[in-house]
Amino acid sequence: MSSPSKRREMDLMKLMMSDYKVEMVNDGMQEFFVEFRGPTESIYQGGVWKVRVELPDAYPYKSPSIGFINKIYHPNVDEMSGSVCLDVINQTWSPMFDLVNVFEVFLPQLLLYPNPSDPLNGEAAALMMRDRPAYEQKVKEYCQKYAKPEDAGITPEDKSSDEEELSEDEDDSGDEDILGKPDP
């Protein structure tokens, strides 16, 4: 790469091309939001989070800052700030990694394999170690309460396609009513 800014631009484009919804802040490439979905076949499945990403001037040589905007119940995510405790982002970051790695590997791994011995959310860590079923239930409750698509700020155009499907269904049911009545 010729410069950190070119690399930032390429990584951001690669992330957008990987079907992630990305919302830029202030027309710059330093700060943006990414829609992140809980891993399939996990207790986070179905959850949708808005994740704030801030790229330092020295990116990719310095790691991005990552934080959940809507609430998530996890031992390694601070419930109030959304800050993430993840070694690969905080301590062992390498310029070989990119933004797609963060959303396709690092965050899914964090959700699938929490580390209660290095918590940012002490309550979640204690509950996970003490009563795993109660912990899993609380995770699912948080997903239902705070991690619906609208909580992640999905754009209205995504919702309109659902509304169109509903209106088509309504039209079909109207036809059935007309067809189902015998002529006088």
Residue 23 lies in a domain: yes
Residue 131 lies in a domain: yes
User: Which of 88, 70, 89 is CA-nearest to residue 80?
Assistant: 70
- Judged against a pLDDT cut of 60, whether residue 1 lies above it is answered with no
Residue 160 lies in a domain: no
- Judged against a pLDDT cut of 90, whether residue 86 lies above it is answered with no
Residue 24 lies in a domain: yes
Residue 184 lies in a domain: no
Q: What digits encode the pLDDT tens for the residues 87-102? A: 778 788 999 999 999 9
Residue 157 lies in a domain: no
Q: CB of 148 within 8 A of CB of 46? A: no
Confidence of residue 160 (pLDDT cuts 50, 70, 90): very low
Helical H segments across 4-155, by residue range:
4-17, 87-90, 99-101, 107-112, 122-130, 132-146
Confidence of residue 178 (pLDDT cuts 50, 70, 90): very low
Q: Give the integer Cα–Cα distance in Å for 128 and 103.
A: 24
Residue 182 lies in a domain: no
| Residue 85: active-site member | yes
Task: Specify the CATH number for the domain of residue 97.
Answer: 3.10.110.10
The letter for the amino acid at 39 is P
Q: What digits encode the pLDDT tens for the residues 24-80? A: 888 777 899 999 999 998 999 999 999 999 999 899 999 999 999 999 999 999 999
Q: Tally the domains of the chain.
A: 1
133 to each of 12, 52, 115, 117, 141, how far by Cα in Å? Answer: 38, 30, 16, 18, 12
Q: Give the integer Cα–Cα distance in Å for 8 and 53.
A: 12
Residue 117 lies in a domain: yes
Phi-psi region of 25 (alpha: psi -120 to 50; beta: other; left: phi over 0): beta
Q: Which one of the listed residues 10, 16, 22, 85 is annotated catalytic? A: 85
The crossing angle, in degrees rounded to 10, of helices 132-146 and 122-130 is 140
Find the domain containing 8 and state its range. Answer: 4-152
